[in-house]
Amino acid sequence: MSLRPVGITGLGMAVPDRVLTNFDLERMVETSDEWIQTRTGIRERRIAEAGEASSDYAVRAARQAMEQAGVTPDQVDLIICATVTPDMPMPATAAIVQAALGAHRAAAFDLSAACPGWIYGVVMAQQTIATGLYNCALVIGVELLSKMVNWQDRATCVLFGDAAGAAVLQPVSEGRGILASVLGAEGAGACHLYTPAGGSRRPASPETVEQGLHFIHMNGPEVFKFAVRVMNEATVQVLEKAGLGVDDIDLLVPHQANIRIIDGAVKRLAIPPEKVVVNLDRYGNTSSASIPVALTEALQEGRVRDGDLVVCVSFGAGLVWGALAMRWGR
């Protein structure tokens, strides 16, 4: 059976209106704008309002992506929502999005792979279209991490923001679309970035809430070491699978977690800075939304052209990672 080429035909994003700057954080925890910018590169992040949920932003990003792709709700066969901040434990946030969009024909499920979640979702959706099972998939990365951080913990609260990014995937012309992908995990590192309670291991209770076990816990130095290594390795691996080299990259879209991690990977790969997308200074780390938001902005700014080789690479809790190599165009 021959496989159909699959690519992104539409992109969209949605972020909250509320901006939380480093100077705002100075009044909340013991930190400073200089400390945050020096260590992370982040100046500000977007914060959702009380009562807002991940699906609210997922729907907005999805509608924008569908409009760009020229797709109607009844043409969508599959919705994958990558998130670690679902509206609720069940049902899937993707099902809530499906109803809001009126995409009543679409199958819908959530995927939990933290920051590389959107890449994982794109790879899953690609397989369904390449084999002919479906013709149109919507992959959304959405996080409202502001609802999961301890705003008294300066090691984590300065890092994260809220956002959603979405992509429509469809069959494309030969030589266009996704050329190769790499997914991986080092589960032994799960203890370095996790939320201790709220699952079957430690169900929610007054004690878990009182002890702050529903917040993000992170071993920063270990995650940093992992990230710098795997960002480089995954980029090289996905290029090798595509039969290409680093010099062939027209645009690198890395996970927007920390400018030092991005700079370290870019330096190792010897990629010119003008070929790298960076927007974490305005949004912080938005986990699974990070790459689709950055890619959407790059497209809006004219940095992505037909025929360009675009590489996306991410890492996150698990510890997991993923990378995509795409030849842009339909």
Q: Which amino acid is at 190?
A: A
Active site residue 255: yes
**3-state SS, residue 107:** strand
Helices 259-269 and 220-241, packing angle to 10 deg: 40
Residue 128: C-alpha distances to residues 12, 77, 78, 98 (Å): 21, 10, 9, 18
- Those residues with Cβ within 8 angstroms of residue 131's Cβ, 6 or more apart along the chain or in another chain: 1, 3, 4
**3-state SS, residue 153:** coil
Phi-psi region of 13 (alpha: psi -120 to 50; beta: other; left: phi over 0): beta
Beta strands in 61-187 (DSSP E): 78-82, 107-111, 137-144, 162-171, 177-185
Active site residue 104: no
C-alpha 30, offset from chain centre? 29
Active site residue 115: yes
Residue of 22, 255, 258, 312 marked active site: 255
Residue of 157, 192, 258, 285 marked active site: 285
Q: Give just the sign of the alpha carbon dihedral 282, 286, 289, 290.
A: positive
Residue 206: C-alpha distances to residues 148, 195, 198, 216 (Å): 17, 16, 11, 18
Residue of 115, 136, 157, 312 marked active site: 115
Q: Residue 15: which of 149, 167, 166, 164 has the closest Cα?
A: 164
Which positions are annotated as active-site residues? 115, 255, 285
